Structure 1
């Protein structure tokens, strides 16, 4: 029984350290790339709504999102998922919506119809 308790404690310690490292890594990526200053608040809200709720993102905000860059986009979404306020959300669903939003915006920005 003592071995099981030690094993459980090690697993908890590992998971805690991994979560702390992930948070530090995301914060470092966000800071190094000045991610928090690259989008205007209205577009941040649109992007947030399209990923964490049910909403759409405008062409203008898609442009800002793509200019933000995939590394920043991913880091900001991951950091938001680490916030206890969002603990009830499914990370798999949010990551899928993050990828979908990114791909839709990228396709829209690359579309020849947008510049016509």
Structure 2
């Protein structure tokens, strides 16, 4: 029984340290890549609503997401998920919506525009 308690403490300690390391890693990525300065506030809000709630994202904001880059996009989403305000969200669902938004924007930006 005592070994079960020790094991439980070690698992909790491992998970807690892992969460702290993940936070530092995302913060470091965001800081090193100046992620927070690459996208305007209106598009950041539009992307946030599209990923964390429901909504669409405009072509203009898709362009800003692609310029932001996949590394920044992913790190910002993961850091937001680490915020206690979003603890009730299902991370796999949000990350899936984030990847879908990224792929949709990338396709939209890479596809040739129709001729007038």
User: When the two structures are superposed, what TM-score results if normalisation uses the length of structure 1?
Assistant: 0.97
Dislocated runs of 4+, deviation >6 Å: none
Q: Residue in 2 aligned with 1:11?
A: 11
Q: Residue in 2 aligned with 1:56?
A: 56
Q: Residue in 1 aligned with 2:71?
A: 71
CA distance in 1, matches of 2:42, 2:18: 33
CA distance in 1, matches of 2:32, 2:25: 10
Unaligned runs of 5+ in 2: none
CA distance in 2, matches of 1:82, 1:5: 27
Q: Residue in 2 aligned with 1:104?
A: 104
Count of residues paired in the alignment: 116
Change (3 A) 1:83 1:111: same
Alignment deviations for residues 89-116 of structure 1 (CA, whole Å, 9 cap, x no partner): 0111001100000000000000101686
Q: Residue in 1 aligned with 2:24?
A: 24
CA RMSD after TM alignment: 1.2
